[in-house]
Amino acid sequence: MSIEWKGVMPAVTTKFTDDDKLDMENFEVNIHAQLEAGVSGIILGGTLGEASTLSDDEKKTLVVRTVELVQDKVPVIINIAEQSTRGAIEAARKAEAYGAKGLMLLPPMRYKADDRETVTYFKEVANNTTLPIMIYNNPVDYSIEVTLDMFAELAECKNIQAVKESTRDITNVLRMRNRFGDRFQILCGVDTLALESILMGADGWVAGLVCAFPAETVAICNLAKSNRVEEAIEIYRWFLPLLELDISTKLVQNIKLAEVATGIGTENVRGPRLPLAGEERKRVLQIIEDGLRNRPVLPEYKSLSAVV
């Protein structure tokens, strides 16, 4: 099985009701907005999805319902962030049974595995599922870097197909290309480095602020891939103050507040997170309000999607 790991793949937020249950009504509103904008996939259960707070039953509900909503228009991908190899293999098995088409796989959680342990972990998960896999390489937040030498070992697993590149070093895009050619598809995982990474040759963007601004995000990606770089830069310059809301410990609260402002989400988060308050809330709201006041008129970009 293969996925075209390209274009914009939103790491969607999980919506909650006021009494802390899954809010599938508002979740569906957001998924429809993503599909309408022309995203290339839907990623569930990442940091933005507050995965660490979700029960297994809630994860099942999200995957099954999203599969129904997308109707095979785009692949549904679920994030796996587990503490044990056995737990990760079981999570992959469940994802496949629920109808997911791919996995985004983090290194082991909590324990700081060395290179040999990390590679073995990834291989054992890959060898126990038929689903295609995107490795999430984020040493800044998760302390483990997947190096080029490690990717060389992982290349023998045919279903390890892509990397979410979040090292914060955009030259890593070229290092991957120089070493492996097109063996691995590369998606930028840091909103504030996305356009730069695409211009360096990344295939796409695992995005955060797309949750609130899907059309603008896809437009930037499609325009850049179509060599309409000046138009992409103009939108990206407008977007940057909003994109910076993603590189924060409060990214979930920030982005959910932006979803409220654009009418495709709610502010509810699950504890221990709390909604923004006080001066912090005022600051974020001001950034969002400034963005909405100056929101650009987009060129026709959807017809460009075929070249992404």
CATH number, position 214: 3.20.20.70
Place of tokens 């970009």: 301
* Residue 308 banded pLDDT, cuts 50, 70, 90: very low
Q: Average pLDDT for residues 243-265, to the nearest whole number?
A: 97
Q: Would 1 be classed as within a structural domain?
A: no
Q: What percent of the chain has pLDDT over 70?
A: 98
Q: What is the pLDDT of residues 205-220, one digit of tens each?
A: 999 999 999 999 999 9
1: confidence class by pLDDT, cuts 50, 70, 90: low
What was the pLDDT predicted at 165? 98
Whether 172 is in a domain gets the answer yes
Instruction: Determine, yes or no, domain membership for 253.
Output: yes
Q: Give CA 156 to chain center in angstroms.
A: 25
Report, as an integer, the average pLDDT of 70-80.
Answer: 96
**Full residue range of the structural domain in which residue 274 is found:** 7-307
Look at residue 307 and tell me whether its pLDDT is greater than 80: no
What is the band of 247 on the pLDDT scale with cuts at 50, 70, 90?
very high
Residue 141 has pLDDT above 90, yes or no: no
Residue 2 lies in a domain: no
The number of folded domains in the chain is 1
Which percentage of the chain shows pLDDT scores above 90? 95
**pLDDT for residue 168 is more than 60:** yes
pTM over 0.85: yes
